[in-house]
Homo-oligomer: A and B are copies of this chain.
Amino acid sequence: MEKVFSSFDEAVSDIFDGAVIMVSGFGGTGGTAQNLIVALRDHGASNLTIISNTAGLASLMGFGTLPGHSAIDCGILIDNDQVGKLIASYPVSPSPSKINSFESHFREGKIGLELVPQGTLAERIRAGGAGIPAFFTPTGVGTELSEGKEVREFDGRSYIMETALKSDFALVKAHKADTLGNLSYKGTSQNFGAVMVRSSGISIVEVDEIVSPGQIESHLINTPALFVDRIVKR
């Protein structure tokens, strides 16, 4: 029942080649498990499928990164050729003249992409954690992202069927954890992490602080302990 790990390296040591990994964060440094990502880079597991909102906007262009700070995000795993497939909503630079490694690897045919609208991505991840294998959504109807998907009408409006996403591991950043595994986040840094911990076989969470049960007040717990497997302090 011990969830606290003493090092980032140890916490990611059993990630295997070909694993499906969810990586938290909206795109900036807030909510991104920078140390776990470095540990996974050093660990070297290859042919990973990464599920993430972006392919790394903070490291590419300072998106959501404090002035003068440097940033690490899942982009370094792609730089390091560890990723075989990306499932994301915002995989490339907003500027066509600024190319990230995802885009160059993609053009070389070295990496696969499943491009998913951001809300559909979040909902598919939630579904994976909530025992819902598939659902219908209006998002993407009539666009190329709905090609090959089942379309069905409800009350005269068209919807497409989307399926749940699950992962072997999630690398998530939260603000505080207690030793039971309860988590709290700061501000806008819940984003994908608070959903990904629910749908991963093993959720690994990097936090600023680890406290005793009760030191995060019950009403401030965003993620109940049952979703959390491993905790490492920054």
Q: Residues of A with Cβ closer than 8 Å to B?
A: 123, 127, 130-138, 152, 154-155, 157, 159, 163, 184, 187, 218-220
Contact = CB atoms under 8 A, between A and B. Distances in A.
A50 B63 CA distance: 48
Given A163-B154, A219-B220, A136 B138 contact: no
Report, nearest first, the 7 A-B pairs whose CB atoms are least far apart. A133-B154, A135-B135, A134-B136, A132-B135, A133-B136, A133-B159, A219-B220
Nearest to A155: B133
Q: How many copies does the complex hold?
A: 2
A155 B128 CA distance: 13
A133 B158 CA distance: 10
B123 A130 contact: yes
A130 B124 CA distance: 13
Contacts of A159: 133-134
A134 B154 CA distance: 8
A165 B123 CA distance: 18
Contacts of A127: 135
A137 B132 CA distance: 5
A187 B184 CA distance: 17
A130 B131 CA distance: 17
A123 B132 CA distance: 10
Contacts of A154: 133-134, 163
Given A131-B137, A134-B152, A187-B218, 10 more contacts: A132-B137, A133-B136, A133-B155, A133-B157, A134-B135, A134-B136, A134-B154, A184-B219, A219-B220, A220-B220
